[in-house]
Amino acid sequence: MKKIFSVAVIGLGAMGMGAAKSCIAAGLDTYGVDLNQTYLDALKAMGAKAVATRAVDFAKELDAVLLLVVNANQVNAVLFGENGLAKHLNKGTAVMISSTISAQDAKDISHKLTGLGLIVLDAPVSGGAAKAAQGEMTVMASGSAEAFEKLKPVLDAVAGKVYNIGEEIGLGATVKIIHQLLAGVHIAAGAEAMALAARAGIPLDLMYDVVTNAAGNSWMFENRMKHVVDGDYTPLSMVDIFVKDLGLVSDTAKSLRFPLHLASTAYSMFTEASNAGYGKEDDSAVIKIFSGIELPKKGGN
């Protein structure tokens, strides 16, 4: 009897939980790993094979690992920290790194993993929690043909679109960073527009309706400014995530000696919001840096 393909999803936040759910729906033996017991219990109830606060417990069962933790420090801690996972995996296990990290970090991590006989795909993702839950994420990946082939069951489960950026590790990370430039600038620009509307006394639900039916709309405006209209800053993606991601954009630009005027301003806006205490709120909370305006409250109060 053929063994069912098994994958551990490490990091069960908004994207990771959706990806894990999609793997279960695709019939993969899915293991969930997170430090949050509530997330683990939720995934177990969805049909996960097993859940734990560390993946070492079932490392030998795995064909693949999908990493959706926050940053490079967390990727390194999971793989190479105390009781790190990498040395416990069977040789030939595929590791799909889907966290947003720098190209250099992707290369460094890949070098260590391949040295242990593991297969690596530099594969950042986009699409938000809803697309992740539907198995419709966009994956921008670079790596060997072997990595793409080995991870095909996972890619089929979680992705609506898979872009093969090339064989060189770091290319996927670079494409994601350029994408995050746009995403961050769009949120910041949307917040600025809605703040101006508030200052001018235009009802924000009306302004939102106009923009989402006109040429100035963007996916980010439509998705994030709805949170502002609802007065609901429950985090799906936090302000601090864009402090990190736009920091990566800035570092990439510096390494290429390339000026990024709008991205630099957006980075300053998100950093200001974080310093003002909004770092753990939804990234649309960047609008709170504007003074002299009244924003909608949750529940219309």
Each residue's pLDDT tens digit, 162-211: 999 999 999 999 999 999 999 999 999 999 999 999 999 999 999 999 99
- Give 242-260 pLDDT, tens digit per residue: 999 999 999 999 999 999 9
**DSSP-derived secondary structure for 72-107:** HHHHHHHHHSTT-SGGGSPTT-EEEE-S---HHHHH
Q: What pLDDT does residue 2 have?
A: 61
Quick count: other Cβ atoms within 10 Å of Cβ 209? Answer: 12
**Ordered domains of the chain (ranges, CATH):** 6-169 (3.40.50.720), 174-300 (1.10.1040.10)
pLDDT of 5 higher than 80: yes
Residues in the chain: 301
3-state SS assignment for residue 209: helix
Please name the helix (run of DSSP H) or strand (run of DSSP E) that holds residue 161, with its range, or none.
strand 159-166
Tokens of 187: 């949120």
The mean per-residue pLDDT over the stretch 141-150 comes to 98
Residue 236's pLDDT is what? 86
pTM of the model: 0.94
- pLDDT (average), residues 26-51: 97
97-134 pLDDT per residue, tens: 999 999 999 999 999 999 999 999 999 999 988 899 99
Nearest to 23 by CA among 1, 49, 3: 49
| Nearest residue to 66 (alpha-carbon basis) of 37, 42, 30 | 30
pLDDT at 301: 54
Residues classed as catalytic:
176
pLDDT for residue 129: 87
